[in-house]
Chain A
Amino acid sequence: MVSTKKTKKTHESINNRLALVMKSGKYTLGYKTVLRTLRSSKAKLIIIANNCPPLRKSEIEYYAMLAKVGVHHFNGNNVDLGTACGKYYRVCCLSIIDPGDSDIIKSMPGSSETPLHGWWCIYRSNPLLV
């Protein structure tokens, strides 16, 4: 009981933060632009919907690992993520370039524990790879 309540509360807070980013910050929606922002190191946070195809999800996570950018797995599918962004279309992945007034970047890093996190620790701790 307690855990479901807790996830609902944090989920709402993510939605609130995302709404604030949409209003006051800079972002891009969509797979192609997400990769583009990762390559140009403009992205600060990536959000992926839960029904994103696993190959695409792994690819975005790998790019984010190389760019040392956090990834958040949104608790909802692309329809929900589109709604959370205030759009009338589906959004599978989005990239936040400038959070504006929102504190989404500061409060999110703990949730970027992806399966690649182990990779990332090895990558960061190895001076030869950086």
Chain B
Amino acid sequence: MVKFLKPNKAVIVLQGRFAGRKAVIVKNFDDGTRDRPYGHCLVAGISKYPKKVIRKDSAKKTAKKSRVKAFVKVVNYNHIMPTRYTLDVDLKDAITGDALESRDKKVTACKEIKARFEERFKTGKNRWFFSKLRF
């Protein structure tokens, strides 16, 4: 009886090219829109996870291994699995309403999200979110 599909909820994408990747809900559309008459949400996720960094890596290597590739996508609720985790990263200003209209806007949005994800990864918080889901 509690709404749990809210912004900042960590979810796992189940279908499509990014199946198995973790993502965070940015915006919900519970009742759908005219183009998409079903419950869906805008998610920002990790397309390429950062690699495992060990102590004997040089600074250059650490920087290279900590890179994250992000994606932005609109997904049907049926195609995501919500988890009990949340990710408190402010992505609302990075993804404006028209981010998915043209390829250039999508690329700039992804670059912005990538920067935010990388800075969060480097603090060492939300370790679950940045680890690859093994299946």
Closest to B3 in A: A41
Bound form: Cα–Cα A39–B1 in Å: 9
Q: Nearest Cβ distance between residue B108 and chain A, in whole angstroms?
A: 31
Is the Cβ of A68 less than 8 Å from the Cβ of B1?
Answer: yes
Is the Cβ of B77 less than 8 Å from the Cβ of A39?
Answer: yes
Within 8 A of B (CB), among A31-81: 32, 35-36, 39-41, 43-44, 59, 63, 65-69
| Chain B residues bordering chain A, tally (CB within 8 A) | 14
Binding site for B on A (CB under 8 A): 32, 35-36, 39-41, 43-44, 59, 63, 65-69, 119, 123, 129
Is the Cβ of B77 less than 8 Å from the Cβ of A123?
Answer: no
Is the Cβ of A68 less than 8 Å from the Cβ of B84?
Answer: no
Q: Nearest Cβ distance between residue A42 and chain B, in whole angstroms?
A: 8
Taking a contact as CB atoms closer than 8 A, the residue among A35, A44, A59, A67 that contacts B4 in the complex is A67
